[in-house]
Chain A
Amino acid sequence: KQEVTQIPAALSVPEGENLVLNCSFTDSAIYNLQWFRQDPGKGLTSLLLIQSSQREQTSGRLNASLDKSSGRSTLYIAASQPGDSATYLCAVGHRNTGNQFYFGTGTSLTVIP
């Protein structure tokens, strides 16, 4: 069974700082990896999707990398803003199991003005 771990569980940084969130997974036979943002009491918003054949994806101030061989992904957030405060979740997808997605428990980010 795929296990997904996110470290740290919580992170507090001053506004303007660059930061890295980590995601590790135990089974490297993944189809894709997706990063989500979740605001309190809300649903999940997709941030970046990396296919298994890709090494990274970028969207604005966000950059996600994928290293399947080591079972790791990182989400880099540049020049953090208070509006980035949220919980960030990573999920790995497996094609051979009906595209099931396995989630980490998330990193709760607070950006201090």
Chain B
Amino acid sequence: NAGVTQTPKFQVLKTGQSMTLQCAQDMNHNSMYWYRQDPGMGLRLIYYSASEGTTDKGEVPNGYNVSRLNKREFSLRLESAAPSQTSVYFCASSLRTEAFFGQGTRLTVV
């Protein structure tokens, strides 16, 4: 029962570097999401994809891009990392109702 799988689990970047966070789900869910979690601020939505081929901005999209590669995979890209993007990133998926989350990626930008 893999559920939602995120890679990598940990990453340290230098300011200005780029990277892609990968997410895959095996539950045949239509919707997928990227959140970031910061102390005292809860989880905030970065981007979401209601179905394959569509993506929409969430609350905090600046500095990020996403790709819904197929129904299973939804990637998050940081083109030029900044210290303000130091956070824990969570991918989630849902089929209209219940949401399931990955284990998170802890990203530090120095």
Binding site for B on A (CB under 8 A): 4, 31-32, 34, 36, 41-46, 49, 51, 89, 91, 93, 95, 98-106
Contacts and interface: CB of A to CB of B under 8 A. Distances in A.
A100 B45 CA distance: 8
Contact of B42 (A49, A93, A106): A106
8 contacts: A31-B96, A41-B106, A43-B104, A91-B43, A99-B94, A101-B99, A103-B43, A105-B40
A82 B50 CA distance: 38
A23 B74 CA distance: 30
What does DSSP make chain B's interface, helix, strand, loop or mixed?
A: strand
Contact of B31 (A32, A36, A45, A99): A99
Interface of B: 31, 33, 35, 40-45, 48-50, 56, 58, 90, 92, 94, 96-104, 106
Nearest to A36: B101
Contact of B50 (A36, A89, A99): A99
B94 A43 contact: no
B93 to A, nearest CB: 10
B57 to A, nearest CB: 11
A31 B94 CA distance: 13
B42 A98 contact: no
Nearest to A105: B42
A44 B104 CA distance: 9
A19 B102 CA distance: 28
Contacts of A44: 90, 92, 101
A100 B58 contact: yes
A77 to B, nearest CB: 20
B104 A98 contact: no
Given A44-B101, A45-B101, A95-B96, 13 more contacts: A4-B42, A34-B99, A44-B92, A46-B99, A46-B100, A46-B101, A89-B42, A91-B43, A93-B97, A99-B31, A99-B48, A99-B96, A100-B33
B80 to A, nearest CB: 27
B104 A101 contact: no
